[in-house]
Amino acid sequence: MKRSISFLLLVGMLASMLAACGAPQAQPTATPQPATQATAAPQPTAAPTTAPAAQVIKIATQSPLSGGQAALGTGMKNAAELAVQQLSGPLTELGFRVELAPFDDQARPEVGSANAKNIVSDQDILCVVGHLNSGVALAALPDYKNASLPMVSPANTNPNITEGGYEVAFRV
């Protein structure tokens, strides 16, 4: 339940930010102050308070970060990292800290499945970006499905990923 609400919040924030990117915003202009207006005296500052620790939202990636397909897998991880850096501002303002949790699936189904077990055990991980290889994704999807953890793949081509009864799987 926590994952569903937090994931919906994350998706809503990202969708809002993308929608805002389409329309140019007017820059506010400073209004000149008349020379006769007195300036206000500085107000005393309140005693510093300790801010509560930010809630963590983790986005996992699963791609080959070693081996012969490492260049492709590293590109996927870097793209997800860039998205987190560029789009997490509104979530940070709401008190969340967004982190990337990269996993090396080595382009091997057994490694991807083992990583999936670790990913679903971390309650701070709200979604997975990956996999590069459809075979690795199909090996990991039962774990994601059982945990209701969404997986968005920028690379999978096998239609069984989205048509095989895995309602948590999405292909871009």
Q: What CATH number did the domain enclosing 131 receive?
A: 3.40.50.2300
Residue 5 lies in a domain: no
Residue 153 lies in a domain: yes
Q: Would you say the pTM of this structure is higher than 0.85? A: no
For 3-9, what is the mean pLDDT? 50
Integer Cα distance of 100 and 63 in angstroms: 13
Q: Of 106, 110, 105, give the one whose Cα is nearest residue 151.
A: 105
Q: Of 107, 167, 172, 106, give the one whose Cα is nearest residue 142.
A: 167
Residue 36 lies in a domain: no
pLDDT digits (tens, 9 = 90+) for 29-48: 444 444 444 444 445 454 44
100: confidence class by pLDDT, cuts 50, 70, 90:
very high
Residue 9 has a pLDDT of 46
Residue 112 lies in a domain: yes
Number of compact structural domains in the chain: 1
Integer Cα distance of 7 and 58 in angstroms: 10
Please give the share of the chain, as a percent, with pLDDT higher than 90: 68
Residue 18 lies in a domain: no
Residue 45 lies in a domain: no
Q: Which of 35-44, 56-65, 142-151 shows the lowest per-residue confidence on average (mean pLDDT)?
A: 35-44
| Residues of the domain holding 120 | 54-172
Using the structure block, give the residue that is written with the tokens 């048509």.
163
Residue 134 lies in a domain: yes
Residue 95 lies in a domain: yes
If phi over 0 gives left and psi between -120 and 50 gives alpha, with beta otherwise, what is residue 55?
beta
